[in-house]
C-alpha cells in the first residue's frame, strides 16, 4: 500500500504573494514517463495542475482518479484538479478525485450544478475553485465568491492545446482581480491564468493580475528549466 504525501493544511494561504507562481500542467508532461517527468519538474513547481475531461463538456479525454492517486504518493506539492465534465457526473467526480488526493478541485461556472459542486468540495475538506470559459462574463463568479479559494480564467478555447491567447484574456484578468479585491472580504482568493501561456504572453498576463499561470510546454519543453522558472518568478508584481 502506498502512502500519500500531502501539503500542509494551510498550503493555499502559504503560497507566495511576492512573485508569479508556476502551476505545472501534467497534461504537458511526458505521458509515457509521467512519474519521471513529475519528479524532474517537482522542484520548480508551486502547484501541480491535473486536467480532467470527459469528452462531452470538453472535447478531450484526460486524467483519471487511479492515476492521480499514484502520483499523490510521489510529491507533497498541492494537486489542483480541474474538472471539465458534464453536470451528470460532476458530483461523483468530486468524490473520486477527493479520495485520490486532490487538494483543490475547480469546477466550471458553466456547470448548472456549480454551487452544489463547490459545496461538496468544501464538505470534503478541500479548497474549491471556479473556472470561467472565454464566453462567460467575469461577473458570473460573483455569486460564488464566498465559496471559492481560486478563480481561474481560461485564455483559450477549452480542452484544445496549442491555441493563441484570446485578446480578451488580459482585460478579463483585470476585471477578475477587481472583483476579488471588492468581494473577498480580505480572504485570499488566487487568480489564475490558464491557456495561451507563452513567453510573449506571460508578462501581460502577470501585469493584468495573474498570480499563477498554468504552464505546459513553456515549462516541460524548456531547454533550461531552472532559467525559465527563474524568469517566471522574476515577473513584476501584479
CA dihedral 26, 29, 35, 38 (to 10 degrees): -70
pLDDT at 131: 98
Rounded to whole angstroms, the Cα distance separating 165 from 154 reads 9
| Among the listed residues 34, 4, 33, 1, the one whose alpha carbon sits nearest the alpha carbon of residue 100 | 4
Mean pLDDT of residues grouped by 10 in the chain (238 residues)?
81 96 97 96 98 94 96 97 98 98 98 98 98 98 98 92 91 98 96 97 97 97 97 85
Report which DSSP code applies to 187: -
Show which residues are catalytic.
Answer: 51, 194
Q: What is the pLDDT of residue 1?
A: 43
Q: What φ, ψ does residue 153 adopt, rounded to 5°?
A: -110, 125
CATH 3.20.20.70 fits 21-233, yes or no: yes
Residue ranges per structural domain of the chain = 21-233
Cell readout for 68 is: 492521480
Please state the φ and ψ torsions of residue 125, each to the nearest 5 degrees: 85, 20
Is the separation of the CB atoms in 193 and 221 below 8 Å?
no
Q: Is the pTM higher than 0.85?
A: yes
3-state secondary structure 45-113: CCEEEEEEEECCCCCCECCCHHHHHHHHCCCCCCEEEEEECCHHHHHHHHHHHHHHCCCEEEEECCCCC
Q: How far is residue 95 from each of residues 3, 90, 121, 178, measured CA to CA in Å?
A: 19, 9, 8, 32
Q: Is 9:199 a contact under the CB 8 Å cutoff?
A: no
The pLDDT score that the predictor gives to residue 238 is: 64
Strands (E), 150-216: 150-154, 190-194, 212-215
Predicted local distance difference test score (pLDDT) of residue 2: 52
Amino acid at each position: 500500500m502506498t502512502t500519500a504525501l500531502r501539503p500542509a493544511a494551510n498550503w493555499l494561504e502559504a503560497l507566495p504573494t511576492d512573485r508569479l507562481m508556476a502551476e505545472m500542467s501534467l497534461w504537458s508532461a511526458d505521458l509515457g514517463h509521467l512519474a519521471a517527468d513529475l519528479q524532474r519538474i517537482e522542484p520548480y513547481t508551486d502547484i501541480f495542475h491535473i486536467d480532467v475531461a470527459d469528452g462531452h463538456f470538453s472535447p478531450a479525454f484526460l486524467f483519471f482518479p487511479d492515476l492521480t492517486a499514484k502520483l499523490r504518493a510521489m510529491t507533497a506539492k498541492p494537486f489542483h484538479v480541474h474538472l471539465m465534465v458534464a453536470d451528470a457526473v460532476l458530483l461523483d467526480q468530486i468524490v473520486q478525485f477527493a479520495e485520490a488526493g486532490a487538494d483543490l478541485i475547480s469546477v466550471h461556472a458553466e456547470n448548472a450544478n456549480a454551487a452544489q459542486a463547490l459545496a461538496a468540495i468544501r464538505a470534503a475538506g478541500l479548497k474549491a475553485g471556479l473556472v470561467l470559459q472565454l464566453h462567460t462574463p467575469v461577473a458570473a463568479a460573483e455569486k460564488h465568491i464566498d465559496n471559492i479559494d481560486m478563480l481561474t480564467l481560461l485564455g483559450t478555447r477549452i480542452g484544445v492545446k496549442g491555441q493563441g491567447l484570446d485578446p480578451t484574456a488580459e482585460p478579463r484578468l483585470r476585471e477578475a482581480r477587481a472583483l476579488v479585491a471588492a468581494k473577498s472580504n480580505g480572504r485570499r482568493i488566487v487568480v489564475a491564468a490558464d491557456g495561451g501561456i507563452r513567453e510573449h504572453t506571460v508578462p501581460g498576463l502577470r501585469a493584468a493580475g495573474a498570480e499563477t499561470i498554468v504552464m505546459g510546454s513553456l515549462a516541460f519543453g524548456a531547454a533550461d528549466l531552472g532559467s525559465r522558472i527563474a524568469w517566471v518568478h522574476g515577473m513584476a508584481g501584479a
